[in-house]
Structure 1
Amino acid sequence: MKISYAAICIVFVLLLSEAELSMGAMTCNPLELSPCASAITGANAPSAICCSKLKEQRICLCQYMKDPNLRKFVNSPNARKVATVCGSPFPRC
């Protein structure tokens, strides 16, 4: 069964909209990573905006991995490749 890119992006955005976490003064909002959706799904290379947002949200990645709906995206091999390309390695959780 082939899933369309648009469907994956919609699911990704919907899942991200469900999880907004607060860490002190920083608000962790997985929607901020939506510019990375096409890179995480393997459709494109990460954009400069994606890399910027990933670096901003890096402190939140461990929290996102605790959410079963987000874990499969954040902890995927493509997500880790995007982080490496962006120069923002994943934290050790």
Structure 2
Amino acid sequence: MKSKVGCVAIFVAMVVVLAIGEVKVANAVTCNPLQLTPCAAAITSAGSPTVACCTKIKEQRPCLCQYMKNPNLQKFINSPGAKKVASSCGTPFPKC
């Protein structure tokens, strides 16, 4: 009986260690609108976004509200093309 309890305790301990090891720490995003350069063609024309564009959109998503507040970037970020690219990449467009 004691060996079953010991085995269960070891199993639970292993599961906890594995679960803790799977916790991912969020990296801070450096907001830089130039990171969205791979998306320029897809935003301004009828082209489809590239894999590089979708990767950057997902990385820079936390920054989009900040970009929308910038008068120089606002017209690009709020454009139908930018919303189309975000949708095509499976990245919800933020509501700021």
Q: Work out whether the TM-score is over 0.5.
A: yes
Kindly indicate whether residue 59 of structure 2 is the aligned counterpart of residue 63 of structure 1.
no
Following superposition, the deviation at residue 43 of structure 1 comes to 4.4
Greater C-alpha Rg: 2
Equivalents in 1 of 2:54, 2:92: separation in Å? 11
Counterpart amino acid of residue 58 in structure 2: K
Kindly indicate whether residue 85 of structure 2 is the aligned counterpart of residue 82 of structure 1.
yes
Structure 1: stretches of 5+ with no match in the other structure: 1-24
What is the total number of aligned residue pairs between the two structures?
70
Equivalents in 2 of 1:84, 1:26: separation in Å? 21
Q: Which residue of 2 aligns with 1:28?
A: 31
Following superposition, the deviation at residue 63 of structure 1 comes to 0.1
Q: Which runs of 4+ in 1 moved over 3 A?
A: none
Q: 1:37 aligns with which of 32, 36, 40?
A: 40
| Further displaced range: 36-45 or 67-76 | 36-45
Q: Which residue of 2 aligns with 1:72?
A: 75
Could you tell me the TM-score, scaled by structure 2's length?
A: 0.69
Higher strand proportion (structure 1 or 2): 1
Could you tell me the TM-score, scaled by structure 1's length?
A: 0.72
Equivalents in 2 of 1:33, 1:53: separation in Å? 6
Following superposition, the deviation at residue 26 of structure 1 comes to 2.2
Q: CA RMSD in A?
A: 1.4
